[in-house]
Chains A and B, each alone.
Chain A
């Protein structure tokens, strides 16, 4: 049995594997600890390769006792494409660039990974109701996975969320609650509610389990690169949970000998309109100063990031950084990715691509590096960000009209 218990990340106090997330001694976050003694790397790699086409192939590294959870839902997260992005690399002056396209998950964002784990854990612990505080993608995933698992659900979001994300949540029959306030206020409300309701809040009382799902991004990247480690990972930061858990995933496998090499440099991407981690990085602080978000990247609009200190620590320890980009750079980033790879991402992906571009063009990423950019969600969820930047030619249905008004002259041979 690999999973051992929960442990405080700050003071090391041990707790049983139940619905809890905070240390009663020091208020630090709890995380899952495993015992992987006796693990044989070659055999483990073979077992993974023979496993299911989803995150459950990594079940030995997820917080379930005795293999994949027996009560999985029909929505199988993971094994999303890792695409070599040569044209994007060329445009921004990089040598080797890969895009991990996590928009290709059942509800079109990386949140299916964490919610897949949270739902299975909620059922294992006997909960009837799933809940979450969300900036949108988690809302979609919780509503869908609860429906698939036959659980009731409550989804709390800021009421000014993108319409696409509200619609793609409400359709599943969840109890959708729009809170008049910022995400951080939604989160505070849910932290209070979790105290007194017998619900499984994916990112509150189940957060230690939930966040483990994000490690599978690292496992997939490593496996898809032929059991090797990239030189750098560029990844968006909202709470910092995805960013730090991808780091943990690589670290775990390096320690266990499943992959060889050193931890990649971790480059964090934020929006200038909500960049508390980027600001703390720039100022040399160890903790973040909370901000009031004002950015089109609503899925990253967390002004008080729970894993901020750990995200800073990971970026510094690995020779990475945390950078922030403007809303215009985010819109350009969405278009740049779409034009060069065929992948249409939401604003968070725009933040990642814009940050990648900024780091590449300022020479902070070397051409010799093998870089992976993590694209976390789907462009159809944030359509407003793409309304400008192109024109539709509107013509009469005739060949002359097309030739006169819409046809682009063919490129002449050099």
Chain B
């Protein structure tokens, strides 16, 4: 599946300013791994021991993956996977 992963402003120093990365993957985890293959430094910033850090939220087509299957959430062709800080609001 070809999907777009949206990178928040706080991480763009690591992606050379890119706000979107086009990758292939069948699940959120696979898509993120494909992003890390391109930008290795991102891995440590948003994951720890293979899981998302606790202040990182990931959405597929606007839906929080914690309401779905987490990193195993299936993605469809053309989906947008959005990484956002979890420390806003309230």
A residues adjacent to B (C-beta < 8 A):
10, 20-29, 133, 183-185, 187-188, 190-192, 194-196, 201, 203-204, 207, 238-242, 287, 289-290, 292, 302, 304-307, 309
Contacts and interface: CB of A to CB of B under 8 A. Distances in A.
Nearest to B54: A287
Contact of A22 (B59, B87, B89): B87
If over half of A's interface residues share one DSSP class (helix, strand or loop), that class is named, otherwise mixed; here it is: loop
Given A24-B11, A188-B57, A304 B86 contact: yes
Interface in B56-78: 56-57, 59, 62, 64, 66-67
B88 A204 contact: yes
Nearest to A189: B62
A329 B69 CA distance: 34
Contacts, number: 93
B22 interface: no
B88 A190 contact: yes
B9 A195 contact: yes
Contact of B84 (A191, A292, A302): A191
B54 A203 contact: no
B68 to A, nearest CB: 11
Contact of B53 (A27, A133, A183, A242): A27
B88 A27 contact: no
12 contacts: A22-B55, A22-B85, A24-B45, A133-B88, A187-B89, A188-B64, A191-B85, A192-B84, A201-B88, A207-B87, A207-B88, A304-B57
A24 B54 contact: no
A22 B45 contact: no
Given A184-B64, A191-B89, 19 more contacts: A10-B55, A20-B10, A21-B85, A23-B10, A24-B11, A24-B13, A27-B55, A27-B86, A27-B87, A187-B88, A188-B62, A203-B88, A203-B89, A240-B90, A305-B90, A306-B88, A306-B89, A306-B90, A307-B90
Contacts of A22: 10, 55, 85, 87-88
A18 B45 CA distance: 21
Contact of A191 (B46, B53, B66, B88): B88
B17 interface: no
Contacts of A242: 90
A27 B82 contact: no
